[in-house]
Amino acid sequence: MNGVPEDLIVYEIALVVPKRNLNEENKGYDCVEVLVNEFRNVGLIVERVLGLSDEFIKLAAPLETLGRVAAKMQMKKTTHIGIDLQFEWEEIKAFVRQPDGSLFSWCERFQCYRHLIYKIVNKKNSDVTLKFDGKEIQWEAGKSLLQRLELEGIVKQVFPLHDEIKRKKLLRSWALNWWDFTAQPIDEIYAYFGTKIAVYFAFLGMYTRWMIFPATFGLILQLIDFGSLKLLVFPAFFISIVLWAVLFFQFWKRKNSALSARWHLNFSVSTSEGYKLSGREWNSLQPPLELVKNSGIDKTKEKEALQRYEWFGYLKRFRNDVIIILSIICLQLPFELAYAHLYEVLKSDMVKFGLTVVYLLVIQYFTKIGGKISIRLIKHENNENTEYQADSLVYKVFGLYFMQSYIGVFYHALLHRNFMTLRQVLIQRLILYEVLENLVENSLPYLKYSYKKYRAVRNKKKREKGLIGKIQFATRVEKEYLKPTYSASISEELEDGLFDDFLELALQFGMIMMFACAFPLAFAFSALNNIAEMRTDALKLLAMLRRPVPRAAATIGAWLNIFQEGKWKIEPGLAAILVMEHVLLLIKFGFSRFVPEEPAWVRAKRMKNATQAQDMCSKQLLRTISGREKAFGGYIRRKKPDGTNKTQSCRNQ
C-alpha cells in the first residue's frame, strides 16, 4: 500500500458520504468513486468503511507525499542553522525535526492534507458530468471536486481522526494521571493537538503552580486572627498579590518564548508579519499582493493605494469597536444594574431564585446575539488572518461577559458596601458556578454523543424493519463522527472551545485579583478548581470530543492583554481614579491602534524586500546544510567536471 507497511499506516483525516447501492455500470462515473481515485492519484492512502447509515473515507499520507506537497505550498521550515527556508523534499536533511522526531508538526500535516484534498481540480477544458444516485453533477473546469461535492451535500463532513495509540498513551500519562497534580506532557500535547491547545495547557499548568503562593497566604489570613496587625497584613497581602501577578506574566512570556523555540516556531521577518507568497496568508492590514504588483510601475499610485487601503481598514475597525461599546453601555449595562438592584432589595429567597433563573436565560440569549453581531462586524474588518479575527472577536465579546460577571459584584462593593453579600456572591461565582460549569462542560458532550448514537440506531431499525437484537457500532471512525466538535459557545466560525476555556480562566483571574482582600480564600478555591480543570479538559479532548482542528497560534493572543487588566483592588475611594485611569488607557490604546507607527506602504515594501532577500540563496543554503556542498566563510566550494575545486560567492548567485 504505497510502500508503507500496513501496521505503520496512521489514518488522520476522514470524509463522510451517504451509504448507497452502486451499480457496476455507473461505477466509473460515480462522484464518490472519482473522488477516491483522485485521492489515490495524488499519493494518499485510502480506506473505505461502511457504517450504519454513512460511508467513511479514511485518508493517510506517506512522508514523501506530505513532503512534496509542502514544497509545492512553499512551506517554510526551520533549518539546522536557524534560518526559516522554503521546504524542499530533496534537501530533507537540512531541516530540523519536531521534539517527537517527526519531520512535520500536526498543524503542518493538516495543512498539507487540506491542500491535497481541496486542490483536486478538473484539469480538462470542459465540464465533467458525474453521477450520484441517479443525479447528474457538473464538475466545472478548474474547480475543486471536494468543494463541489460539499455544496451538493454529498460530502457531509471532513474531520481529523484520533490516533488510537497516541490517544491512549496521553490518557494514561496525562488525563488520568492525578498524582502529578500540575505536571503535564506539554511536548506530547503539542505533537497531538497542535500549538494553540498546547499553549493553553502550558499556561493553565503554570498559572496553577504559581497560585500556590497566594493560596497559602490567603489560607493563613483566613485561619489566623492577626488582631490589630490586620492593618499591616492585608495591605502586605494586596501588594504581594499585585507583584505576584506582574512576575507571573513576565515569566509566562519567557516560558512562551522557550516553548516557541523548542517547537521551532521562531519565524523569520518575512513570515512573522504576514508577507507570504503563492496564495498563503497575507497581512490584510496591508493591501493584498495584487495591489503591490499592479501598481508597482507608478510609485505614487502604489503609495496612494496602500495608504487608502490601510486607513479604510482602521476606520472599519474603529467603527465596529464603537458599535460594540455603545451597545454594551446602552443595552446591557442598564439590564445588569437592574438585576443587581432587584437582587439587593428583594427579601424572599424564592423570588431571588426565580429572578436569577430569568436573568440567566435572558443573558445567555443576549450573549449569543452579541456574538453573532460581533462576527458579522469582524467579517468587514481588515484582519491579518483567522487568528487576528479570533482575537478581535475575543475583545468584542469579552465586554459582554465582563458586564455579566462583574457588574453585580461592583454594585455590592461600590454602592452598598455590603461585604457580607459581596463574599456570598464571590463564593457563588468561584465555587458553585465553576463546579456547575465543569459538570455541564464535561457531561454535555457525553449526552450529545449518546443521543446521536440513539438516533443512528433508531434510524437503522426504521430502514430495516426486520432487524432484531442489539445494534452496535463496529467502526471507530463512526463513533468519532458522532462525537461533538470542540467548538465555542458563541461561534464555530472563528473560535473553537479554547474561547470558553480561556474565558473561564480570565473571569476567575479578574475576580480573585480585584477582590483578593475581601475574600482571601478565593485563591485556594481557584487553585483546586484549576487542578481539576486540567484533567477534566484533557479527558474531554481525548475521550468525549472529536480531535480538534489544529491552530498555529504560538501565544494566547488577546487573552494576555485581558488577563493583565485584572490587577486592581476595588475600593470606593479609588473608584473615580480607576475610571479616569481606564478612560485614559482606553484613549491611549485606541489611538495606538488607530494611528499606526509605520505606514502600510513602508511596511509592505520592507516585507517584500525581506522576502526577496531571504529567498535569493535559499536553495544554495539547503544544499550546504544537507551536506551536498561545503561552505567556507560565505563561499561555496563546488566540484568541477575535471575534479578540481571551484569557489563561488553565495552573494553573487
Dist CA 228 CA 632 (whole Å):
74
pLDDT band at 639 (very low <50, low <70, confident <90, very high): very low
Q: Is residue 335 part of a domain?
A: yes
pLDDT for the residue numbered 569: 41
Dist CA 485 CA 549 (whole Å):
9
Dist CA 352 CA 342 (whole Å):
8
Can you read off the three cell numbers belonging to residue 81? 542553522
451, 406, 456: which is closest to 433 by C-alpha? 406
User: Which amino acid type is present at position 216?
Assistant: T
End residue of a domain, out of 417, 450, 485: 417
Residue 148 — φ and ψ, nearest 5°? -65, -45
* Average pLDDT value for the chain: 77
Name the maximum alpha-carbon separation found in the chain.
101
Reported as a single tens digit per residue, the pLDDT across 50-74 is: 888 889 999 999 999 999 999 999 8
285, 286, 279: which is closest to 608 by C-alpha? 286
Number of domains in the chain: 2
Provide the pairing of β-strand 54-60 with 45-50.
antiparallel
Instruction: Please check whether residue 475 is in contact with residue 51, taking contact to mean a CB–CB distance below 8 angstroms.
Output: yes
- CB hemisphere CA count around 189 (13 angstroms): 27
* 535 burial via Cβ count (<10 Å: 0-12, 13-18, 19+): middle
Reported as a single tens digit per residue, the pLDDT across 508-537 is: 888 888 777 777 888 888 899 899 899 999
Q: Is residue 499 part of a domain?
A: no
pTM over the 0.95 mark: no
- CB hemisphere CA count around 276 (13 angstroms): 21
CA 180 to each of CA 324, 438, 534: distance values in angstroms, whole numbers, following the listed order? 43, 21, 11
Lowest mean pLDDT among 101-105, 257-261, 362-366, 384-388: 384-388
Q: Where are the beta strands (DSSP E) in 541-633?
A: 630-632
Reported as a single tens digit per residue, the pLDDT across 390-445 is: 777 787 778 777 777 777 677 766 666 666 767 777 777 777 677 777 787 888 88
495, 313, 503, 490: which is closest to 390 by C-alpha? 495
pLDDT for the residue numbered 248: 92
Can you read off the three cell numbers belonging to residue 573? 475611594
Residue 130 — φ and ψ, nearest 5°? -115, 165
Can you read off the three cell numbers belonging to residue 588? 491611549
Instruction: Please check whether residue 454 is in contact with residue 462, taking contact to mean a CB–CB distance below 8 angstroms.
Output: no
Radius of gyration for the alpha carbons in the chain, expressed in angstroms and rounded = 29
Dist CA 332 CA 499 (whole Å):
21
Q: How far apart are the first and last CA of the chain?
A: 42
* 290 burial via Cβ count (<10 Å: 0-12, 13-18, 19+): exposed
| Rounded (10°) CA dihedral 163, 168, 172, 174 | 30
Can you read off the three cell numbers belonging to residue 596? 499606526
Q: Is residue 563 part of a domain?
A: no
pLDDT band at 11 (very low <50, low <70, confident <90, very high): very high
What ranges in 328-412 are assigned the alpha helix state H? Answer: 333-345, 349-378, 386-410
Can you read off the three cell numbers belonging to residue 614? 531571504
The highest-confidence range among 100-104, 159-163, 471-475, by mean pLDDT, is 159-163
pLDDT for the residue numbered 648: 45
Instruction: Please check whether residue 496 is in contact with residue 550, taking contact to mean a CB–CB distance below 8 angstroms.
Output: no
- Domain limits for position 410: 314-417
Q: What residues have CB less than 8 Å from 175, skipping those under 6 apart?
A: 535, 538, 539, 542, 543
Q: What is the mean pLDDT of residues 191-200?
A: 93
Between these two residues, 434 and 542, which has the higher pLDDT value? 542
Q: What is the mean pLDDT of residues 542-553?
A: 89
Q: What is the 8-class DSSP label of residue 144?
A: B
Does 601 score more than 90 pLDDT? no
Dist CA 132 CA 113 (whole Å):
25
Can you read off the three cell numbers belonging to residue 330? 446602552
Instruction: Please check whether residue 337 is in contact with residue 407, taking contact to mean a CB–CB distance below 8 angstroms.
Output: yes
Q: Is residue 202 part of a domain?
A: no
Q: Is residue 479 part of a domain?
A: no
Does 199 score more than 90 pLDDT? yes
pLDDT band at 646 (very low <50, low <70, confident <90, very high): very low
Does 214 score more than 80 pLDDT? yes
Q: What is the mean pLDDT of residues 80-99?
A: 87
Dist CA 332 CA 342 (whole Å):
16
Q: What is the 3-state secondary structure (H, E, C) of 291-307?
A: HHHHCCCCHHHHHHHHH
pLDDT band at 376 (very low <50, low <70, confident <90, very high): confident
Q: Is residue 5 part of a domain?
A: no
Q: What residues have CB less than 8 Å from 499, skipping those under 6 apart?
A: 390, 393, 394, 488, 489, 490
Q: What residues have CB less than 8 Å from 338, skipping those under 6 apart?
A: none
Q: Is residue 385 part of a domain?
A: yes
Does 360 score more than 80 pLDDT? no
Neighbours of 220 (CB within 10 A): 13
Does 245 score more than 60 pLDDT? yes
What ranges in 10-75 are assigned the alpha helix state H? Answer: 31-41, 63-72
Helix, strand or coil, per DSSP, at residue 13: strand
pLDDT band at 614 (very low <50, low <70, confident <90, very high): low
- Reading across the β-sheet that carries 45-50, which strands appear in turn? 45-50, 54-60, 13-18, 157-160
Between these two residues, 554 and 596, which has the higher pLDDT value? 554
Looking at the chain, the whole-number percentage of residues with pLDDT higher than 90 is 23
Q: Is residue 146 part of a domain?
A: yes
Dist CA 519 CA 221 (whole Å):
10
Lowest mean pLDDT among 116-130, 133-147, 305-319: 305-319
End residue of a domain, out of 161, 176, 203: 161
Can you read off the three cell numbers belonging to residue 237? 497581602
Between these two residues, 653 and 124, which has the higher pLDDT value? 124
Q: How big, in percent rounded to 5, are the helix, strand and coil portions of the chain?
A: 60, 10, 30
End residue of a domain, out of 417, 444, 471: 417
pLDDT for the residue numbered 261: 85
Can you read off the three cell numbers belonging to residue 645? 575545486
Between these two residues, 539 and 644, which has the higher pLDDT value? 539
593, 60, 118: which is closest to 318 by C-alpha? 593
